[in-house]
A and B are shown apart, each in its own frame.
Chain A
């Protein structure tokens, strides 16, 4: 991979200046840091039970692993992105980022108790607003919710919508059931009602094996399996008729990769032609539905960049609207500032950096319109 060998300080092939970064990870807060943002009952019970001293790091995204902490971004703590100064100096200033969406990956989303999960998700969102969004105007937030109880998720969404800096809803890729199932529909209805995309981010509960053949031994193996989980979620959303039921729904797949899309499209379309009598409400081929409703963050770019693989893959995808710029900071997805592979070309890169995010996030588009009006 030549991309890997390039000097860290070299100028990137394509400039990221002015980009909207659709997947940036401030380090997940220590549970103690959430205490001020919990109500009295939860604060007391967490202190009594020692939860405030527990780490809610998720198995699906170990916060110190080399894929989650790029070595040159690593702080003394072993984490990365754990202070606003670090995020400014590493993720915003050098890339010339105009706006970045903070996706906080916290175990709040996978606690078994519906109420505890909801309380913790609410605290993380409040923490994000107070400690990050209030202090840095280039940052935007995702409302994290636990999908397992749709009513509580909707309550959290409705509580946050007044704050325009929250631009989407975030759930994890692996939940109790495939995301198209009806128990999750209230979340999609709330999202569409408030014109908020639903971001499905890599990771999940690990309450069942991440593959149909059982538990992989290694983190690297489980990370690879995430791509398949995204495929399953897209098929579930399509087959259950979610986009038919909620036609205004936009979904963003984050840290999903995207080079698997062509083969996914070919297979899904062919199978649909053969078995469409099973789901008569799916009246278009799956690839057309996905291209209209689903977007994918750019990183990780999974293709050997020294070959024509990415160029050809993009031609196979055949949809310039589908990618949203992301650094996936502080994850180790590229070297230096080379977030945009040269194969994208200037025009598509610009669309991925600005045009596609504006078309996906109405709240960011409204901010831009206001600035232009000034």
Chain B
């Protein structure tokens, strides 16, 4: 990979933030918590039909996870409700407990983009955005929101992005990596146009239900396989964005890939470069080696932290990706949570630490 120019450079004054967590999952005490944010029509609809996504089971995933609510045992609030549903406890255990200056909410409930009923999808996206404000952003100034947008319905997604963009408490647009078609396809471009026009980055958190088999090899039997397949989906999304020419069209577009880890990034860039070198006449709109777009337009959050044996091998990975592209995340309250005190098993310089734990996120979100 060549040393390409990057969109953002480390900033001098970032003392305001020492620790930014780019992946916190807010939850609801009960699903009825969404009701104040939905019209009667959609409350009735949910009561009668429930959600309707592109998968076999209607209320859960068909690869059961290993712990209830995919969550740490100690994250269940003493006052009741599932992990992430109790703001006072989230504050105490997570924000105060770890000294987090800024936490970015990544709401996964109700899966708006995965809904097959197009109007229900929009109603849920709007409701989840209002719920973030009402439950978390109003009462807690350290929390920031993600704009849920309906990827399968770009016109509605753009309308919702436009509506939320002036509320600076929303830091990003949240899209699911698993969709009916790969993200780079042209029908999604209005979403990129809106993102760039509002200077909002797009965040892709693992998950989504696009209706396709979870791996290119077919449906896996086990969660250990399905867990890994999330990384491969991110790889496919990145290939789509690059080979469709999205970054040629929208050079200012910034994306982060959340909860996919990052050790796969360098070799994936090399693989794309090699294939592109052989077949670039198929995609003449891709002007530069794919790894250059990867280096310039895409960021990664750190959890689940990579744990090579020996640990020092991670040093090469960090060097190849660039420590300016990694943003710390905990995935609170999920079971494979990373603690900022223990996550990195390799030594980082003071500058690298400052960048990964806060500075890169400041640049990515444009907080300065």
Contacts and interface: CB of A to CB of B under 8 A. Distances in A.
Interface of A: 1, 4, 65-67, 173-181, 208-221, 223-229, 231-233, 235-236, 239-240, 257, 259-260, 262-272, 274-279, 300, 302-304, 309, 312-313, 315-316, 332-333
B307 interface: yes
For A173, A221, A277, A315, which residue has the most chain B Cβ atoms within 10 angstroms? A221
A211 B224 contact: no
Residue among A4, A176, A220, A262 with the highest chain B CB neighbour number at 10 A: A220
Interface stretch (B37-45, B158-166, B206-214, B347-355): B206-214
B239 A221 contact: yes
Given A212-B212, A213-B236, A300-B274, 9 more contacts: A67-B278, A213-B212, A213-B240, A232-B228, A232-B229, A259-B270, A263-B261, A263-B264, A266-B263
Nearest to B308: A266
Contact of A218 (B243, B264, B320): B243
A275 B66 contact: yes
A265 B267 CA distance: 13
Given A229-B217, A263-B264, A216 B240 contact: yes
B304 A270 contact: yes
Nearest to A200: B217
Interface of B: 1, 66, 177-185, 208, 210, 212-225, 227-229, 231-233, 235-237, 239-240, 243-244, 261, 263-264, 266-268, 270-283, 304, 306-309, 313, 316-317, 320, 335-336
Nearest to A331: B278
> Which of B1, B66, B235 has the most A CB atoms < 10 Å from its CB?
B235
Contacts of A315: 313
Contact of B277 (A1, A210, A259): A1
> 9 smallest A-B Cβ distances: which pairs?
A211-B236, A228-B232, A263-B263, A232-B215, A232-B217, A67-B278, A229-B216, A263-B264, A220-B279
Contacts of A213: 177-179, 181-183, 208, 210, 212, 233, 236-237, 240
Contacts of B316: 312, 316
Centre residue among A65, A211, A232, A300 by max chain B CB count within 10 A: A211
Nearest to A214: B181
A212 to B, nearest CB: 4
Contact of A65 (B179, B279, B320): B279
19 contacts: A178-B220, A178-B221, A212-B213, A213-B233, A214-B182, A214-B210, A218-B283, A259-B271, A260-B271, A262-B308, A263-B306, A268-B228, A272-B224, A274-B66, A274-B336, A275-B227, A300-B274, A303-B267, A304-B1
Contact of A309 (B181, B220, B263, B320): B320
Contacts of A263: 261, 263-264, 267, 306, 317
Contacts of A224: 235, 239, 268, 271-272, 275
Nearest to B1: A304
A101 to B, nearest CB: 23
Contacts of B266: 309
Contact of B217 (A175, A217, A218): A175
B156 to A, nearest CB: 20
A208 B218 contact: yes
B228 A231 contact: yes
A232 B313 CA distance: 24
Contact of B212 (A211, A232, A274): A211
Given A178-B225, A239-B220, A275-B227, A216 B236 contact: yes
A219 B307 CA distance: 34
Contacts of A276: 224
Contact of A212 (B214, B271, B283): B214
B264 A239 contact: no
A165 to B, nearest CB: 30
Nearest to A239: B222
A214 B212 contact: yes
Contact of B239 (A216, A233, A240): A216
Nearest to A180: B221
B227 to A, nearest CB: 5
Given A67-B275, A262-B313, A278-B223, A212 B178 contact: yes
Contacts of B232: 211-212, 228, 231-232
Given A211-B232, A212-B213, A274-B335, A223 B270 contact: no
A332 B278 contact: yes
A271 B215 contact: no
A302 B267 contact: yes
A208 B213 contact: yes
A235 B220 contact: yes
A270 B228 CA distance: 11
A248 to B, nearest CB: 23
